[in-house]
């Protein structure tokens, strides 16, 4: 890596997007104008070659740009040992973390030292030396308000393996969510293409010319006022579950972007509950589960709804 530059490996959520939009999403909306200027000046490169704003990205592409972009300084990553870090599993190839709600995954504009990555490099400093840029080992993402299970690679080989697995849809993810209203039918598939909202570019929307997107769901319990759902995204679009639930008229409870605030919970009531994938070293199919955080348990109890679902994964 050239001195003064950072690299970003494109994951499934960014694949297929224009490079200017993808980098603004990865590094924070405040940096989009700077990214467009960097593209025009030739400072943004894929495999050493310059790009145009409309260049489409593929999973596994390595994009490089100056360290100063997106609010990341030449000083590198800040280790933050005081931040909470709930490690579900650790081995020589990967880490599995239960991300707290409200925690940004990686440094971006306005979040230089309070992210999951800052906590990771404090406990596992080798991540900063193994990977370049502000996203060491990050192979997929969760929204700031979304709690739950996230996988982090500890080696470049593991990162490459996992990024490919996500891109090829070989990773099964199950989420739990509270959604407004009584969702009917009690089980089904939401099949609605997703793209940038043409009216509000900072968010996504279900639009006819978007990228194909499917989410399987099952109603675990309902109070009438709110439904408790188990969901499996079959594709990996940005904000997919939140957009799909809005599209069927049942936005996630407490979602300020696609719904509205709730007195029941102070954030978007979405939890990444379970993830299953082939281990990059052994090839064994492994599953990890993140228990519900206290705020969701309190919300469930207040609504008289059951807790974590019993049994196995959803089937399509």
Q: Which residues contact 40 (CB under 8 A, 6 or more apart)?
A: none
- The secondary structure of 147-187 as a DSSP string is EEEEEEESSHHHHHHHHHHHHTT--EEEEEEEEES--SSSE
Determine contact, residues 60/16, Cβ cutoff 8 Å. Answer: no
Task: Look at residues 86, 105, 104, 110 and name the one whose alpha carbon lies nearest to residue 96.
Answer: 86
β-bridge pairing 147-153 and 94-99: antiparallel
CA 99 to chain centre: 11
Task: Look at residues 156, 144, 59, 57 and name the one whose alpha carbon lies nearest to residue 107.
Answer: 144
Name the DSSP letter for residue 69.
G
- Is 145 designated active site? no
Q: Which residues of 264-285 are buried (b: 16+ CB within 10 A; e: fewer)?
A: bbebbbbbbbbbebeebeeeee
279: phi then psi, degrees, rounded to nearest 5: -70, 135
Q: Give the integer Cα–Cα distance in Å for 294 and 161.
A: 33
Q: Give the integer Cα–Cα distance in Å for 44 and 64.
A: 6
β-bridge pairing 86-90 and 226-233: unpaired
User: 61, 143, 145, 255: which one is catalytic?
Assistant: 143
Q: Give the integer Cα–Cα distance in Å for 148 and 295.
A: 13
In the block, tokens 């200027």 appear at 37
Bridge partners for 18 per DSSP: 56
Cite the active site residues: 143
């Amino acid at each position: 890596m050239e001195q003064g530059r950072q690299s970003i490996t494109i994951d499934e959520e960014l694949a297929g997007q224009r490079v200017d939009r993808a980098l603004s999403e990865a590094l924070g909306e405040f940096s989009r104008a700077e990214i467009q200027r960097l593209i025009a000046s030739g400072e943004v490169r894929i495999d050493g070659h310059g790009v145009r704003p409309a260049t489409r990205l593929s999973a596994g592409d390595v994009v490089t740009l100056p360290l100063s972009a997106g609010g990341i300084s030449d000083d590198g990553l800040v280790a933050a040992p005081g931040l909470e870090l709930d490690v579900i599993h650790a081995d020589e190839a990967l880490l599995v973390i239960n991300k707290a709600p409200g925690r940004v995954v990686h440094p971006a504009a306005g979040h230089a030292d309070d992210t999951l990555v800052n906590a990771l490099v404090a406990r596992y400093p080798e991540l900063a030396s193994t990977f370049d840029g502000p996203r060491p080992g990050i192979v997929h993402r969760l929204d700031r308000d979304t709690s739950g299970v996230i996988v982090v690679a500890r080696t470049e080989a593991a990162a490459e393996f996992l990024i490919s697995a996500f891109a090829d849809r070989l990773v099964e993810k199950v989420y739990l969510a509270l959604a407004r209203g009584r969702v009917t039918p009690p089980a089904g598939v939401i099949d609605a293409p997703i793209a940038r909202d043409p009216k509000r570019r900072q968010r996504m929307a279900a639009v006819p010319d978007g990228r194909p997107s499917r989410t399987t769901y099952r109603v675990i319990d309902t109070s009438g006022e709110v439904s408790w759902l188990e969901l499996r995204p079959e594709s990996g679009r940005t904000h997919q579950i939140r957009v799909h639930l809005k599209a069927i008229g049942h936005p996630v409870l407490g979602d300020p972007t696609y719904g509205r605030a709730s007195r029941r919970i102070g954030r978007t009531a979405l939890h990444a509950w379970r993830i299953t994938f082939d281990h990059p070293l052994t090839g064994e199919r492994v599953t990890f589960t993140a228990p519900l955080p206290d705020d969701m348990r309190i919300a469930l109890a207040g609504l008289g709804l059951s807790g974590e679902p019993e049994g196995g994964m959803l089937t399509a």
